[in-house]
Amino acid sequence: MSRRFRFGVSLITPAPAEAWRAKCRRAEELGYDVILVPDHLGMPAPFPSLVAAAEATRRPRLGTFVLNAGFWNPALLAREVATTDALTGGRLELGLGTGYVAAEHDTAGLPWGSPGERVDHLRRTVEELDRLLGSPDHQPRAEQRRVPLLIGGNGDRMLRLTAAYADIAAFTAARTVPGSRTGTLEPLTVEEIDERVAAYLRLAADRPAPAELNLLVQMVAVTDDPGAAVQPLLSRLPRLTEEQVLELPIVLVGPVERIREKVRAVRERYGFSYLTVLEPYMEAFGTVIAGLRDE
């Protein structure tokens, strides 16, 4: 039986207090289940932004999407997580990843490390957070007995870590372009996504309960001319044809009902029941959400 849909929006643009509260309220009005904030330099700071979002809304959950573990010391992060969960009334969902933008580490004066070193640091962070937040002696205390954990990544070691610890397994369905220090991404093909999801499911086969599967959608456009809408993408994706781009689950383009059909098909094929869109597509995807409520 398919898991019911959840929809999140990642708010990436800084804003003054009232404008921030207004767009959080708008996300709630549109039916989003989760308001998310990333962890990139130049974008809103995650934890104060989520506290402000909680004050402006009543229903949505609130999440980091995702924290760059390389920016954080586990003990200090545990304090932030517990405080934020308490101040949001137990609505926090904690998203963690290794980070993928080397240039941000350069700017922050932090070591970048090899892929293996970054995964090792993420594992230590997850394990230490579990120990600290699970201790009855830890102060401050979180509101929830356990803050739900989302881990995002595609590589084998990341999938193994996700299978072992995460309540929510997040897939970007994209990889960093080799040699890029600015985090330039290229999408996986549908066959590569099939393989990555299958690899995760094998690793997670012994879990007592299955994790929720999340997908980060990269483009939404409600249009009667899907081909024209994806033309700007094609110049950046020379290895893919127009038909292949339109097939990607991270590209939701077409009339509203056709997008809804594709969202249902994506859940059926891959198991992605929790879809996240970026802030620029919040309004467009909001028209899609209305017909998928309670499915």
Within a domain: 291: no
Within a domain: 41: yes
* pLDDT at site 236: 81
Q: Is 95 helix (H, G, I), strand (E, B) or coil?
A: strand
Q: Beta strands 174-176 and 185-187: pairing type? A: antiparallel
Which residues partner with 149 through β-bridges? 94
How many C-beta atoms surround the C-beta of residue 199 within 10 A?
A: 16
Number of structural domains in the chain? 1
* pLDDT at site 67: 98
Give the tokens for residue 213.
Answer: 């599967």
Q: Is 253 exposed, middle or buried (0-12, 13-18, 19+ CB in 10 A)?
A: buried
Residue with tokens 């708010």: 11
Domain that holds residue 20: 6-217+271-279
Q: What is the pLDDT of residues 176-194, one digit of tens each?
A: 998 999 999 999 999 999 9
Within a domain: 89: yes
Within a domain: 255: no
Within a domain: 71: yes
Residue 294 banded pLDDT, cuts 50, 70, 90: confident
Distance CA 154, CA 29 (A): 32
List, in sequence order, every beta strand (DSSP E) within the chain.
6-10, 34-37, 61-64, 67-68, 92-97, 149-152, 168-171, 174-176, 185-187, 212-216, 219-222, 251-254, 272-278
pLDDT of 1 higher than 80: no
Instruction: Name the least confident of 83-87, 202-206, 289-293.
Output: 289-293
Helix (H) or strand (E) holding 207: none
Mean pLDDT of 21-26: 98
Residue 144 banded pLDDT, cuts 50, 70, 90: very high
- Burial of 119-150, coded b for 16+ CB within 10 Å and e otherwise, reads bebbbebbeebeebbeeeeeeeebbbeebbbb
Percent of the chain as helix, strand, coil, to the nearest 5: 45, 20, 35
Within a domain: 237: no
Residue 140 banded pLDDT, cuts 50, 70, 90: very high
Give the tokens for residue 19.
Answer: 């404008």
Within a domain: 284: no
Mean pLDDT of 195-219: 97
Within a domain: 153: yes
pLDDT of 256 higher than 90: yes
* pLDDT at site 23: 98
Cα–Cα distances in angstroms (integers) from residue 190 to residues 12, 25, 187, 195, 197, in the given order: 27, 35, 9, 9, 11
Residue 100 banded pLDDT, cuts 50, 70, 90: very high
Phi, psi for residue 31 in degrees, rounded to 5: 100, 10
* pLDDT at site 228: 96
How many C-beta atoms surround the C-beta of residue 39 within 10 A?
A: 24
| Size of the chain, expressed as the number of residues it contains | 295
- Asked whether the beta carbons of 278 and 27 are under 8 A apart, the reply is no
pTM comes to 0.97
84: CATH: 3.20.20.30
| Residue among 65, 4, 77, 3 at smallest CA distance from 36 | 65
| C-alpha 262, offset from chain centre | 19
* pLDDT at site 249: 97
Q: What is the pLDDT of residues 215-240, one digit of tens each?
A: 999 999 999 999 999 999 888 888 89
